Structure 1
Amino acid sequence: MVLSGALCFRMKDAELKVLYLHDNQLLAGRLHAGNIIQGEEISVVPNRSLDAKLSPVILGVQGGSQCLSCGTGQEPTLKLEVSPIGTSLLSDLTKPADAEATSWVSWGPSSSPLWGSVDCSPASPCSWPSSPASPTPFPSPAMPFCSQPVNIMELYLGAKESKSFTFYRRDTGLTSSFESAAYPGWFLCTVPEADQPLRLTQLSEDASWDSPITDFYFQQCD
């Protein structure tokens, strides 16, 4: 079956912080300006070019006009690729740090199955020291421009290369994790502190109270 439009989901991490869009960044929080955050509507389509058994998905916001991408560099850089008239604005969410100092990131479960695949180069990792020391935050660099526009349905229909936009969704009970298709071992994550950008991280065997949160509740919009 071919989708006529993207499916709508909302996401929150295992600590119930919801994802919301602010200044071209996806943040995770509970309150904004004193108001409860409803959460961003996440547009979701499968990547049909990848193994459906791995549940490859492409994630977008603003009706699919901005899509999460992990970039195409040697190291992953999580960003939103936007498609204004004639150009694509890349909004970096975070910059990758030392891969050895990072840990896992995952998403939450979905109330309905999704198939298809969307490739995504590893997005900016959440860099956290292996020692109990305080985590090292990532800077939010200026937004570079890209010459090609991006739209989630174009990616779904195969009009554009989509591996850097794809994440493998893995159910872990009530929650799900999301691994970059382009950068294996890199997962979407949030940090314990509220109102911080969505990032990428690698799995760490030494999890602690301040480790990145890689599990997400992934529920279809009402």
Structure 2
Amino acid sequence: TEHKGLCLREGRLVATNLQGVNAEQEEPISVVPNPHLERRRCPLIVGIRGGNKALSCGTGPEPRLQLEEVKLLDLFSSGDAAVPYTFYKTFGGTTHTFEAAAFPGHFLSTAPQPDRELGLAPRAAPGSITSFYLRRR
């Protein structure tokens, strides 16, 4: 399989091929634990830009992934208000999945094609990639 990186384009996180000169566009992911949810499920508040923007599933009836201008450390101490920003991380062999705490059964996902936006999808959705390789920086 092909490894992609995440980059920020027009306010959206996009999974794309980041090699050579494009590698510097990779957007590092920041995480802090959500201490208000069940620890054994590894609840993480996920964001970018050094923890100054957070990924949110929204609060509507359907999950909709978006970036919000909120600090991860502010969410760390905000109790139930942090649930839309929280993902349960599961490690399976060499990859990780991230299930939305606010929308069980929906996972961070992208498509096999390059330059596709990061979104949310059921784990078994056709054409969706829900398993990710992570590397520590």
TM-score by length of 1: 0.57
Q: Which one of the candidate residues 78, 90, 109 is aligned to 1:170?
A: 90
Q: What's the CA shift for 1:183?
A: 0.2
Unaligned runs of 5+ in 2: none
Higher alpha-carbon Rg: 1
Q: What's the CA shift for 1:173?
A: 0.5
**In structure 1, what is the Cα distance between the partners aligned to 2:34 and 2:7?**
24
Q: What's the CA shift for 1:220?
A: 1.6
The structure in which a higher percent of residues are helix is 2
Unaligned runs of 5+ in 1: 1-13, 83-149
**In structure 2, what is the Cα distance between the partners aligned to 1:173 and 1:17?**
18
Q: What's the CA shift for 1:71?
A: 0.3
Q: What's the CA shift for 1:160?
A: 7.4
The Cα RMSD (Å) is 1.9
Correspondence 1:1-222 to 2 at 5 A: 15-31=2-18, 35-38=21-24, 39-82=26-69, 150-158=70-78, 161-204=81-124, 211-221=127-137
Post-superposition CA distance 1:164-222 (Å, at most 9, x none): 000000011111000000000000011011011001101328x5xxx21111012221x
Post-superposition CA distance 1:13-52 (Å, at most 9, x none): x6311111111111011148x8332421111100000011
**In structure 1, what is the Cα distance between the partners aligned to 2:124 and 2:73?**
35
Instruction: Specify the SS of the correspondent of 1:60.
Output: strand
Question: Does the CA contact (< 8 Å) of 1:21 and 1:27 recur in 2?
Answer: yes
TM-score by length of 2: 0.91
Post-superposition CA distance 1:98-145 (Å, at most 9, x none): xxxxxxxxxxxxxxxxxxxxxxxxxxxxxxxxxxxxxxxxxxxxxxxx
**In structure 2, what is the Cα distance between the partners aligned to 1:159 and 1:202?**
26
Q: How many residues align?
A: 136
Which has the higher relative contact order, 1 or 2, with Cα contacts under 8 A spaced 6 or more apart?
1
Runs of 4+ in 1 over 3 A off after TM superposition: none
Give identity over the alignment, percent. Answer: 41
